[in-house]
Structure 1
């Protein structure tokens, strides 16, 4: 995945740096970044609130936290978990925009913007029935 991301970044003419490590604990302690971006990751974490605090703490003043997330249609089914092991996660099946915004807002000390992505078929390879969005917060 990192190699694909590097190739896409280079093809778009952007310089980027990709770090590999525990998602809940960003690598390179003490280093700050202009942007911390995560896509469909928050719901997979065993301690999502702690990860959000850690991520915000690593964004330099004026930088942005960008979270592409959603709530999957399968999340409403009690009989079958979205993926094996998801039933043990606090935000299993995704998290809605309002709930994630409420979790992030106090950490960044200001407003957050939610951009709905539900109808963007090209982003998902087809129509989606669940909620999809990008949450953008300036730190």
Structure 2
């Protein structure tokens, strides 16, 4: 029973539901400090196309990046496996005056039609998904011609995560990529970090 996929999914959802209330306490999650928020704003400006773009924020958590992107003039759909994360995200965006569409779904198997989005954005989720190379192929199918995946990931001191070189090797054939290394940008994390943090834009 412990290996039953439905039971495993239930446990994962419960884990993130329980984490939702304190999720924004991490500086790079809640973006509550002005200098951290400004650093993420500047990074997203570099990674995204000119607004308005139609963006799917996969694993959006409490919606901090979705809010920044909406403020930039993008059309954002947020998705997450956790109902509680989405509850906090809805409140955050509504309080700021934005009304967005939200989807509760499995990031590894998005229940969406193909070629809908200019951008598929994922921050710190891909590393935790099974068979990420196949997940990337599914995400690519969601992109319109000329669309891009923006993948913000890392390999942390806990030995969890994905090295940039490994993620690059998983990209679908034919995609061209640019890597931005982020470890030396302390403002993003509100702290100096020594582990590997990066963003990959794949088109």
Whether the TM-score (by the shorter chain) exceeds 0.5 is: yes
RMSD between aligned residues: 1.9
**Candidates 179, 182, 190, aligned match of 1:125:** 190
TM-score normalised to the size of structure 1? 0.75
Tell me, in whole angstroms, the C-alpha distance in 1 between the residues paired with 2:162 and 2:119.
21
Q: 1:101 aligned to 2:168? A: yes
> Residues 136 and 108 (structure 1 numbering): CA distance in 2 closer, same or farther, change over 3 Å?
farther
Could you tell me how far 1:129 is from its partner in structure 2? 1.6
Superposition map of 1:1-139 within 5 A: 1-19=61-79, 20=103, 21-75=105-159, 93-104=160-171, 107-138=172-203
> Residues 4 and 112 (structure 1 numbering): CA distance in 2 closer, same or farther, change over 3 Å?
closer
Q: Is 1:108–1:137's contact at 8 Å kept on the other side of the alignment? A: no
Structure 2: 5+ residue stretches without partners = 1-60, 80-102
Could you tell me how far 1:62 is from its partner in structure 2? 0.5
How many positions carry a matched residue from both structures? 119
Could you tell me how far 1:108 is from its partner in structure 2? 4.3
> Residues 16 and 134 (structure 1 numbering): CA distance in 2 closer, same or farther, change over 3 Å?
same
Deviations 1:52-85 (A, max 9, x none): 110011111101011001100110xxxxxxxxxx
Q: Is 1:2–1:18's contact at 8 Å kept on the other side of the alignment? A: no
Higher helix share: 2
SS at match of 1:73: coil
> Residues 14 and 108 (structure 1 numbering): CA distance in 2 closer, same or farther, change over 3 Å?
same
Structure 1: 5+ residue stretches without partners = 76-92
Q: Is 1:69–1:132's contact at 8 Å kept on the other side of the alignment? A: yes
Higher RCO (CA < 8 A, seq sep 6+): 1
> Residues 132 and 29 (structure 1 numbering): CA distance in 2 closer, same or farther, change over 3 Å?
same
